[in-house]
Structure 1
Amino acid sequence: MTPISSSPQRPSASRSPEHEAYLALQLLATQLRDETEGLLKAAGLSITQFNVLRILRGSGEQGLTCGEIGTRLINKDPDVTRLLDRMEKQGLVERTRSAQDRRVVLTRISDSGLNVVGQLDTPLEELHRRQFGHLGEMRLRQLLTLLSEVGAPDSSLENT
């Protein structure tokens, strides 16, 4: 993985450290996403499809509704129903009506979907190791702490 540089291509007005941090995170997120997309593309999946398979694998036998899947997605998809239609045609998921309420459609990961996501576990873990392993466990924990503080800026004020 090549280092991320947030330095601009041409001179511009001075930027705040917050803006520099934002740019660095955006550049890094794009690079990490591109690398992950490359791995998943070889398996015929988009990042969102892979995310759905991981969500459903973790949900167990009961399955989830379309709305429940949508709220758990990392990358929000405006049309989860159509996404699930495509995945069902690919044989990655199965949908059935709830026995308790026939209006409710539950989606479960299929055996084929389990196989596909299972085959990606090790390569994805290896990719993440290449992306982050050089930091070491202590620095990774620090990074996670810092990122969680960015995601909850009001809570960091309580500690001052």
Structure 2
Amino acid sequence: MTNAPHNKENGLAAEIGKRTPFTSLKQEAYLNLVRTHEQLACQFARLLKQHGLSDPQYNALRILRGEGKPMQTYQIAERMITSQTDISRLVDRLEANALVERERSAEDRRVVWVTLTKQGSAILKKLDQPVADLHESQFAAFSDDQLKSLTKLLYAARKSEE
């Protein structure tokens, strides 16, 4: 028998070949979050890439669809899942791909309204089922109660930093 760590019993430590214990449970939890995010996000990014979108572009399109009416760029930025430092450039790319349209306000030329186009709506509709299927497969091992607990814990982790 070798001195190799047990794969299942040691969780993340075994996955990454860590030979010494984590310095704390908090460190282990953080690294588990990072590792899990990387795996899940990579699968999601691959799906979106097949449709010519990035994660932030998809998120912006979903925000516009959910609002159901034109929004200002800063409003989209406020609702993004990941912070978007250059929302204008993101909207530029969406506009260049005919997924959104921009229109200046007649009352205040500084205000720009962004609207989801029919093409943008169509690509979202095309992605709805594949995205739902991906989420289903990514979390298939969890019960509804476990998912509710996970959601509460992740929310609490974000709020502990405020």
Same fold (TM over 0.5): yes
**Match for residue 31 of structure 2?**
23
Question: Shift of residue 31 of structure 1?
Answer: 0.5
CA distance in 2, matches of 1:38, 1:140: 24
Query: The residue matched to 1:133 in structure 2 has which SS?
Result: coil
**Match for residue 6 of structure 1?**
12
> Given the alignment of the two structures, is residue 33 of structure 1 paired with residue 41 of structure 2, yes or no?
yes
Residue identity in the other structure for 1:108: T
RMSD of equivalent CA atoms: 1.9
**Match for residue 4 of structure 2?**
none
**Match for residue 150 of structure 1?**
157
CA distance in 2, matches of 1:32, 1:12: 26
**Match for residue 158 of structure 1?**
none
**Match for residue 126 of structure 1?**
133
Tell me the TM-score normalized by structure 1: 0.86
Q: Percent identity?
A: 37
**Match for residue 54 of structure 1?**
62
CA gap 1:154/1:69 in 2 versus in 1, 3 angstroms: closer
List gaps (5 residues or longer) in structure 2. 1-7
**Match for residue 76 of structure 2?**
69
Cα-to-partner distance string for 1:77-136 (whole Å, 9 max, x where unaligned): 222111111110100001111244232100011110000011111100000000112211
Residue identity in the other structure for 2:152: T
Aligned structure 1 segments of 4 or more residues deviating by more than 4 angstroms? none
CA distance in 2, matches of 1:83, 1:120: 19
CA distance in 2, matches of 1:6, 1:13: 11
Query: The residue matched to 2:143 in structure 1 has which SS?
Result: helix
List gaps (5 residues or longer) in structure 1. 156-160
Cα-to-partner distance string for 1:39-76 (whole Å, 9 max, x where unaligned): 00101100011001001111212x11111111211222
Q: Which has the higher contact order (CA 8 A, sep 6+)?
A: 1
CA distance in 2, matches of 1:128, 1:40: 13
More displaced, 118-127 or 65-74? 65-74
Question: Shift of residue 10 of structure 1?
Answer: 4.0
Residue identity in the other structure for 1:6: L
